[in-house]
Structure 1
Amino acid sequence: MSVAEPRRIVIFRHAKADWSQETDHERPLAERGRLDAAAAGRRLAETGISFDLALCSTAVRTRETWKLAVHELPHRPRTVYEERIYEASPGELITLLNETPEDVRDLVLIGHNPGVHGLADILAGSVEGDAGSRMNRHGFPAASFAVLTFDGSWKSLEPAGGTLVDFWAPFE
């Protein structure tokens, strides 16, 4: 792939977790979360994006979210479970994205707030349509995702380097 071709990043927040007695990292999805994760997967399928790579936090709720969402996609991408996503800041997530192999065009990152919302805000140097107002109005709720595009290599991705082209939340 040429670095001149636009790349896409989908920043996907895990679905609603249960407030069980488990440690935070081990919290499973709530029933509503399981339903919303599948709905998010159906909406991701509707975008027509064929992901080359999924980077997923190792937390139970993110792994369960991705398992339910990816089942709805026509193509299952290679998935890497990355512990650095758990509790990551937007800057740490950008560093992780900078390590993406150059043959990856479309990537989905499944993570946690406040990092994922911050990442979407920081990367969006421009916005198409009302995606930005919808994202900020809703506050990046559980099972929502933002779609951003950018030109260039993964190593060159930096703040304000992308365009926010879509935002979806389960109640829209």
Structure 2
Amino acid sequence: MNRRLIVMRHAKAENAPGLADVERDLTDTGRAQAGAVGALLAREGLVPEHVICSAARRTRETWRLVAEGLPTEPETDVTASLYSAGVDTALELVGRVDPAVRTLLLVGHNPTMAQLAAAFGDGGYPHFPPASVAVVDLDVDWLYAAPGTGTARILERP
């Protein structure tokens, strides 16, 4: 294995009529989910060296709670471009990661996170609920990450 990409959808967020979508907070369930994912990643030895997180409040909160369960806190890029990114844009962000990084975590939104996991899998990940995590083992450097260059497996699907 050359590189490991961890794809995570944010944890369960509130439905908040009248509030801008990017400002939605996590629910209590979502906070618990995020904490559980952090513990799971640590237990599985899947500690990211770098994180790319959407700038939406719910993804930032998800990442903060995941990070609390990890033994080390990786360098984190919070970017607005992941909020509305499609798979191609997400892969462009991945392609810019320092080649020295071996494990990268993306914390984003559906449908992109589900589509990204499916692009590396057998296409069978249409149901990717909040706090779902897929692990993609890549055979290439970040710059060349694309469907067909690695294999995905679901680690967590709450």
Q: Which residue of 2 aligns with 1:169?
A: 157
TM-score by length of 2: 0.93
1:72-125 Cα deviation digits (max 9, x unpaired): 11111111101110021111111111111111110000000000000111123x
Q: Which segments of 5 or more consecutive residues in structure 2 lack a partner in the other structure?
A: none
- 1:19-98 alignment runs, 5 A limit: 19-20=15-16, 21-98=18-95
- 1:133-152 alignment runs, 5 A limit: 135-136=125-126, 139-152=127-140
Contact 2:12 2:27 in 1 (8 A): yes
TM-score by length of 1: 0.86
Query: What amino acid is aligned across from residue 158 of structure 1 in structure 2?
Result: A
1:69 Cα deviation after fit = 0.8
Q: Which residue of 2 aligns with 1:129?
A: none
Moved runs in structure 1, 4+ residues, more than 4 A? none
Q: Which segments of 5 or more consecutive residues in structure 1 lack a partner in the other structure?
A: 127-131
Cα distance in 2 between the residues matched to 1:50 and 1:36: 17
1:125-152 Cα deviation digits (max 9, x unpaired): x6xxxxx76x45xx01001100010122
How many residue pairs match? The answer is 157
| Residues 1:156 and 2:144 aligned together | yes
1:33 Cα deviation after fit = 0.7
For residue 137 of structure 2, give the secondary structure of its aligned residue in structure 1: strand
Q: Which residue of 2 aligns with 1:100?
A: 97
1:36-77 Cα deviation digits (max 9, x unpaired): 111111111111023110100000000000111110111111
1:167 Cα deviation after fit = 2.5
| Residues 1:18 and 2:6 aligned together | no
When structure 1 is superposed on structure 2, of 52-61 and 149-158 the one drifting more is: 149-158
| CA-atom RMSD in angstroms | 1.5
